[in-house]
Amino acid sequence: MTTLKNDRYLKALLREPVDMTPVWMMRQAGRYLPEYKATRAQAGDFMSLCRNAELACEVTLQPLRRYALDAAILFSDILTIPDAMGLGLSFGAGEGPKFAKPIENKSAVDNLPIPDPEQELQYVMNAVRTIRRELKGEVPLIGFSGSPWTLATYMVEGGSSKAFTKIKKMLYTQPHLLHSLLDKLAQSVILYLNAQIKAGAQAVMIFDTWGGVLAHRDYLDFSLQYMHQIVDGLIREHDGRKVPVTLFTKGGGLWLEAMADTGCDALGLDWTVNIADARARVGHKVALQGNMDPSILYAPAPRIEQEVRSILADFGQGSGHVFNLGHGIHQDVPVESPKVLVDSIHQLSQAYHK
């Protein structure tokens, strides 16, 4: 077993006792840090940064040098799998992702390959191995993937969307076709996350960014069903340790009980959910991650501390809470604010673990 100097994040995910509530932030390696901007400029563009193991490692470690975070998360993108399927991913300046060859018909789905993680996605595994080496056991490394539904939204829409009309048209007019695409993506995600675990990721997270745009039954059939399939297919113990799995559906507060029934170890919460209510609903089954509104990091230090106190009090005594933002950190927050957040959590949470 690899010795970890700080394993409270892994323990909290497994609802084991900890000395204080662990914290990390979604998108903690990113554009709010001047050193990240410098490294990205050095790389030339976003995907070049992702594909360079040394630079991906550098930006993964940057927030850990500033803040006493309890975990590192692999620097990568959720769209690596569809990119490896040959859809022609690009990022325009100041724009979101675009696919040159969006999925429009049955032949496009049938012709999609399932990428070999150590071939087409080897650059991600190289980054995982490099980061694990350079972390030197200080904190655990989180691997991740987008959910099949979320990946499919980009692949069918051809990029970002507000109304999701193309994929919802497919859902309602060609449901069997969409199921075929989602099944292929689920198989790909299982291979991808298991390869990350073998390469050194000590926990994994599935980001279902767009599950919340679905109607109730459609969420269960077209999003959660495939995340459940992934959970069932993952390596759950490696290197002498359990490998915790976290599911996060943005806007998914309606479905916490169903999400907990997948057999995952933890659920991510966005800021629209009260964590006390969430714990009452599912806390005997899973740990909870969240759930501060990222925009509170614009506020002065006393307001950030007030929010930390409120969320810790709402969760209450005992383990099973990983403090996080309810979604990714905004790129224009003051760089001092995350330090206020992290230090407040560590200081104020100790009373809840005695």
What is the pLDDT at residue 92? 74
Topology annotation, domain 8-353: TIM Barrel (3.20.20)
Q: How many residues does the chain have?
A: 354
Is 194 buried (19+), middle (13-18) or exposed (0-12) by CB count in 10 A?
Answer: buried
Contact 72, 140 (CB under 8 A): yes
Model pLDDT for residues 150-168, shown as the tens digit of each residue = 999 999 999 999 999 999 9
- Residue 96 has what pLDDT? 85
pTM for the structure as a whole: 0.97
Binding residues for substrate: 27-31, 77, 154, 209, 327
Rounded Cα distance between 227 and 229, Å, is 5
Structure tokens at 97: 């992702």
Low-confidence residues of the chain: pLDDT under 50: none
CA distance 282 to 259: 9
Binding-site annotation: residue ranges? 27-31, 77, 154, 209, 327
Question: Which residues lie closer than 8 Å to 203 by C-beta, 6 or more apart?
Answer: 9, 10, 13, 71, 140, 141, 142, 143, 243, 244, 245, 246
pLDDT at residue 93, as a whole number = 67
Catalytic site positions = 27, 31, 40, 77, 154
Query: CA 274, CA 170: separation in Å to the nearest integer?
Result: 34
CA gap 164, 218 in Å, rounded = 14
Contacts of 166 (CB under 8 A, 6+ apart): 102, 156, 157, 158
For position 286, what pLDDT does the model report? Answer: 98
pLDDT of 283: 87
